[in-house]
Chain A
Amino acid sequence: MKTPGLLAQRTKGGKWRGVVAFAAVALLVLAVAPVTLSPFRLELLAKYLCFAIAALGIGLAWGKGGMLTLGQGVFFGLGGYAMAMHLKLAEAGPGELPDFMVWSGVEELPLLWEPFRQPWFALLMVVLLPGTIAALLGLLVFGRRVRGAYFAILTQALAAAFVIWLVGQQGLTGGTNGLTNFSSFFGLDLASAQDQRILYFIVAIVLGLLYLGFRQLVASRYGRLLIAVRDGEDRVRFLGYDPAVVKTVAFTMSAVSAGLAGALFVPVVGIISPALLGVVPSLELVFAVAVGGRYALAGAVLGAVLLNYAKTTFSENYADGWLYLQGALFIGVMAYAPKGVIGLAGQIRDFVALRTRGPARRIPAQQPPPVPPGPSADAPAEPVEPVGPVEKEAVA
């Protein structure tokens, strides 16, 4: 609390900078990209933006709430399958079976599929399925104060179990192949470049709205509580709040965003299959958030787009090299830039300031030491993560 004036100034300046940056990015995505990119590249960008929507959820749950969710693929998949089931049924026509069921010898439409004929039911399920499952899991797990790494391990186990189940239910879910071959999406012809462009706009607008919504949420009283839970769960409990509820809400929101992402992914890319949802794809999403910068929601979006772009570009040319690069990048980011690309500017500024003006000018709250005190520091149950200046003030 040494420099309240400075702090206020920073926040205010940051706010305006944020608005300008958002407007610039929105202009780029909504006006420049559709005109300049080829239809093929635009479709790819739409795919990246779908991943960005799911990553946004991780940014909220992990970056702001400290819950490392390694099961984002599950919720992505629930939303995706709900949408895909409806599209499949709409394609088959009333009373008919989807093509893959005919191939695998299913004679009657499974009961589970029946309600997905209704578009409103499918759309509701896109939100409700991931939301309910996340809320239930969250209440059960957080309610018993299972947290930190335990929670991460549980979500990962969920992702593994979900995928194995999906693959096993050949007649119900299409097994390993998943659901594919969609031709239309609520009247849009998925083969036409024009309609794909409309789809791109839908994805971009959903991402923008979700981003603004999450930003608002983080700025609200609830958001402050969420960050407080991240930094000191027990302290929040002593103040009379129930951290389990706070965390469950954020976890549920994150699952819903993944569900939406999955539902949009299906028409954009034209497939949903277990290979897209397992442990590795879920971790890749988290990785994207880490690369972009986990402490800012914008970092999640940036990371998802950047990383998926890099993946497409590299694996087109050298598939094996990509895995080395990805691994090395990951190790490098975790070791040297825990705040990701977004935090890099601040890190460099501090580094330069430290070099040119000496250590006296360094503001400790601004830059956490990149290397924690080493093995002598005890391993606490909660992650000791670097906090930004605002949070630091709030805790003190």
Chain B
Amino acid sequence: MTPSPSSNEPKTPDSSPLQGAVDASVSATSPQSGQKRLNAILLKIFSQAEFNLVLIILVIFVVLTKFGGTHTDFSSGRTISNFFNAGSLFLVATNTAFFAIMAVGMNAVIVTAGIDLSVGSINCLAGVSTALVLQAMTNAHMTSPVQIVAIGIICSLGVGTLCGLANGLAVVLLDVHPFVITLGMLWILRGIAFILTKAQSINMPQSMINFVQAPLGFHGGLMPVPMLVTIVVAIGGWFYMSKTAMGRRIFAVGGNLEASRYSGIPVKRVIVGVYVLAGLTAGIAAFLSTGYYGAASSQDATGYELYVIAAAVVGGTSLLGGRGTVIGAVLGALVIELIRESITILHLDSNYQQIIVGVAIITAVVLDRAGDKMRHRRMVMAQARIKESAASSA
């Protein structure tokens, strides 16, 4: 009876309602007309939820390249852009990597309508406990690089997973809102890190640093490992969320917990699972960041949870649950990092950084929603046209 309002427009990664309109417009066109088919393909690209983000990122790229200024490279003597050069871009990618990886886990949590405020602390605890274990190994003269890296991976991922498991079990068994549980864990885990390290910074063994900083054939001090891991995690996360049964259940639980329970979905297991995922990704980020920076301390990753949540939200994940994409969350992390970066590149007063980031996050989300609304309107119009043409042909 009432027209479907855009507010409850359903969205899951592989079933955008636009898909319907697009498919319909494709089938409505005759197969011979290549122009129309091209239009349909273009419409499909534009109608992806992430398209707005890609647009925002491109705009920032252009602005930074155009207004970032240039400097003379002293080895080659050529004039190069302050922003659009390999070194800067790798730096952006690396800084994004740590947030983006955690945003993959956070996306899953927020899709279930939960929240995890403890990912920064999990990251920190995973980092320092790995550093301590590796330090003990070094002291015990177990210095084989393979052993160090393997134990490093197992330890950081393991601690992250265990912390996530603790979060998930607490949320499910104590039946307290995840905001409260993970807010408590934010302090508890950082407190444990503080006690373990006795407030000291602990250096990482050189073989782990070498692993994370491996140039893999790049020259000029470029370090692609964090970026590559991010890509792998993003693809893995995308696959998990949109192609597997567990991923689908995450969307179901976030969309309607009661209906999921009534459908025989093990709701509690799904909820524990997403916190484990958030912990695991925090552990991966911890392994990379401690290896990259060469040390771990109990002050690491302070406030990261807010960046990670912001990345997911900017990426289109709904805090009400049931809606969000992994790719969106990763792009959201990139947007935030680019905005931070632009303050340096554009020589803005860095004292204003927090204000600029805050305004930018709100603006990005508002723009994203505006794009959604526009696309929704287009879809409604398209459907109406299809209906009318069907009616006139009948």
Do A and B assemble together?
A: no
- Chain A interface (Cβ within 8 Å of chain B)? none
